Amino acid sequence: MEILHTLLRFLHITSFAAWFGSVLASIYFLKTIEDKLTGNASNTTEYTALLQRYIKLETKIADTGFKVTIITGILLAALYHGWTLWVFVKIALIALQVFLTIGYIKRSIHKLNYPCSVTDYKRWYRLFTISLTMFALVLLISFFLL
């Protein structure tokens, strides 16, 4: 059973890292193409298509990381750690992160058309501020309060 516990912890941590990493990579990608989507570039359509393709691929990675994190977290709680207050706090924080992220995407990101103003493009960075803040809270609770 010790091997299963180690394997579940490894999968839990690496899937969380993949989820977190995909969000971090998106920030750099969006910063890289910002000039092409906020200016008067003649190839805005190409960069819009590139952004859409990137988001589809990034979403697959993030969704897989998220699902594996949740599944392994549930298994770790059920089989090894128990359903403590802190487990429920982590569940609530992750649920809040998903709710805030999806809500913000639907409210602010889906409405963007390119080229757009720099002010409108900054909506992307607000999205990542929400995500990274929630990741930080989960990590702080996981490593310093549990």
Helices (H) and strands (E) in the chain, counts: 4, 0
Give pLDDT, residue 146.
Answer: 62
Confidence label for 125 from pLDDT (cuts 50, 70 and 90): very high
Give pLDDT, residue 52.
Answer: 96
Q: What average pLDDT does the segment 84-99 reach?
A: 92
> What b-and-e string marks burial along 100-117, b requiring 16 or more CB atoms within 10 Å of the CB?
ebeebeeeeeeeeebbee
Q: What is the pTM of this model?
A: 0.89
User: Cβ–Cβ contacts within 10 Å for residue 145, how many?
Assistant: 9
Q: What average pLDDT does the segment 116-128 reach?
A: 96
| CA pair distance 5, 97, nearest whole angstrom | 26
Going by the DSSP 8-state scheme, the letter that residue 87 receives in this structure is H
5-47: pLDDT as tens digits: 999 999 999 999 999 999 999 999 999 999 999 987 778 899 9
- Structure-block tokens of residue 26: 């998106």
